[in-house]
Structures are given as structure tokens and as C-alpha cells.
Amino acid sequence: LDVPVLAGILLLKSARMARFLNDNIPGVRVPDSLVERLDKAGNPLEEGVAIARETVRSVRQCCQGVHLMTLGHEERIPEILGN
């Protein structure tokens, strides 16, 4: 494939949000392990930021960029990108 690929990464704010995505958005699948992490987190938004940061790091090798969807938490973008 000779076209740039951007990974779309959504900031998960809670386990409830992750479950909603799984149940209501076709083609979206949040793994159970991530839902569980959000469930157990003392601060689910902070855990969501950590998950987004980990995801960005994992796709850097195979994608030419990322499209972050932070849904009102744009101030967290530098932290997610590791800047």
C-alpha cells in the first residue's frame, strides 16, 4: 500500500464509555482488557490518557500519523503524544 495511513485514536474517558462504544458503534471494538483497566482505575480519565499514549506508541511503526479524538480534552494532546 503506497498511501499514508493515519490511526484514529479516541480518548476513552470511562469504562462506561468503552462499553457504549462496543454496544452501539458498528466496527468499534474496545478490548475487554482495556475496559477492565478503566473499571479498576481510580481516575478513569487518567487511565484513558495512558491507554491513548500507549496506543500512539504502538502504531508509530506502522502508521504515518494519528488522528486524536479527545472530545473536549484537547489540553491532553501533548501528554498523549509524549511531548
| DSSP sequence for 6-17 | EEEEE----HHH
The count of domains in the chain is 1
pLDDT exceeds cutoff 90 at 70: yes
- Asked if residue 73 is part of any domain, the answer here is yes
**Cα–Cα distance for residue pair 44/50, rounded to 1 Å:** 10
- Asked if residue 1 is part of any domain, the answer here is no
Phi-psi map region of 82: left, alpha, beta (phi>0 left; psi -120 to 50 alpha):
left
pLDDT exceeds cutoff 70 at 71: yes
Kindly state the average pLDDT of the residues 64-77.
96
- Asked if residue 12 is part of any domain, the answer here is yes
- Asked if residue 41 is part of any domain, the answer here is yes
Per-residue model confidence as pLDDT tens digits over 2-59: 899 999 999 999 999 999 999 999 999 999 999 999 999 999 999 999 999 999 999 9
pLDDT exceeds cutoff 80 at 1: no
Mapped onto helix, strand or coil, the DSSP state of residue 71 is coil
Query: What's the confidence (pLDDT) of residue 2?
Result: 84
